[in-house]
Amino acid sequence: MFKGTTIVCIRKDNAVAMAGDGQVTLGNQIIKAGAKKVRRLYKGAVLAGFAGSTADAMTLLERFEKRLEENSGDLMRSAVSLVKEWRTDRSLRRLEALMLVADAKITLLLSGSGDILEPENNVASIGSGSGFAQAAGRALLEVSDWAPSRIARRSIEIASEICVFTDDIVTVEALGE
């Protein structure tokens, strides 16, 4: 299985940013250092990041984008629809991935076991370095006046200094900054 992802989402004031590292590993080898694991969906109004098997995550992103189109960009309805299908569909329920999705109003963590979680403290993270990125993000939110995109980027950079499956090639997307 491919692994080596850290995604973090930071909310502050009326803005939200999501950042992800670029490392993909297979076993003990780095396969790619600049993968883009954070994307804009639905006319640029939704941010999505994934952790897990690359092919599985791409399948989920495509399905989620279809759900957003069907639900006119309603993030919660689209998440519920995707997670329901993910949990009950024979082929989808074998997918190994997690997703973070966010729009101007909410952030959600989605899983194949049926989870739709709205994280607390304006910081959410997934992946191998998620604990490190989340801790960094929470601390920076408390002590800095930085924009969410700067906090998200720095959180991934800090995680990359601790987690061997996270690198410092960072993709950041933001809304409302």
- The answer to whether 166 touches 51, Cβ cutoff 8 Å, is no
What is the H or E stretch that residue 156 is in? helix 148-160
Cross-strand pairs, 109: 100, 117
Instruction: Tell me whether residue 5 is one of the annotated catalytic residues.
Output: yes
Catalytic site residue from 5, 6, 25, 171: 5
User: How far apart (Å, rounded) are the C-alpha atoms in residues 140 and 130?
Assistant: 15
**How many Cβ atoms are within 10 Å of 65's Cβ, its own excluded?**
17
C-alpha to C-alpha distances, 7 to 41, 68, 88, 99, 146, nearest whole angstrom: 16, 21, 26, 9, 19
Active site residue ranges: 5
